[in-house]
Amino acid sequence: GFLESFSGIAVTILDNDVFESIVDSQGHQRGLRQVSRDTTGLNAFTNQHLWNRGPYALQLRACSQSLVKQDAAQVKTGQTIQEEEEELDKLYKYVEVEVRGHDPAVLRSYKWYATEAAKMLNITVSNTWEPKKVHHRLTLLKAPFGKKKHMVQYEARTYFQVIQLKHLTGSTADTYLEYVQRNLPEGVAMKVTKTSLERLPDYIKPPTQAESSERTSTEAS
């Protein structure tokens, strides 16, 4: 006979009669489906259970189980390759955490909390500073029905605190940022700036010794 395989389905052609094995999700064969052969292709028309009709049923069952095992092995190998690629961690040279709000006392307290949390995680705090505050003033009418001589001025002050961390891995940075962001006070905003270290691409190569000597000779001449 002639045997063909299609992703977990085994098809055999015996004396112009075609039988297709039916396999469930666990790899167990449930029966055979008889299909006919004509000029346009294979058309399924009945579903017959042919377990006890000679050795071809056993051959189809073994073939279908082997196909299912091969598919499972391919899925496992693909998952292991993907896990190995995901294991590569990022490296950050600097991570700057900037918080801003309208109450300087709250920002100072939160800065102390963030620096202590970094020390508990053995993260190096390279520097902390307080940028200059920003004033935003609006001069408006004292009342919507009043005159221009009755004015009032509103002022909003925004204060800042910056914490600079250095030499972090991606997992450590994610853990630290998630911890401090969960305890961010109300009315306080945060901005995170990351400076990562990347490997040079393959098309950028350092100059060889011969090229460097040629450059020095041309510069000397």
- Taking the chain (221 residues) in runs of 10, the rounded mean pLDDT of each run is 41 47 52 46 40 46 56 62 65 94 95 94 93 91 80 92 94 94 94 90 77 74 62
pTM of the model: 0.53
What pLDDT is attached to residue 217? Answer: 74
Q: DSSP letter at 40?
A: S
What pLDDT is attached to residue 107? Answer: 95
Which are the contacts of 48, defined by CB distance < 8 A and separation ≥ 6?
31, 32, 33, 34
Q: Which amino acid is at 8?
A: G
What pLDDT is attached to residue 51? Answer: 41
What pLDDT is attached to residue 176? Answer: 95
In angstroms, the Cα distances linking 213 to 107, 205, 210 are 56, 16, 5
Take residue 49 and report the two structure tokens written for it.
């259970």
Q: Rounded to an integer, what distance in angstroms lies between the CA atom of residue 144 and that of residue 154?
A: 15
What pLDDT is attached to residue 123? Answer: 93
What pLDDT is attached to residue 27? Answer: 53
Stretch(es) of the chain classified as CATH 3.30.70.600? 91-196
CATH superfamily of 91-196: Ribosomal protein S10 (3.30.70.600)
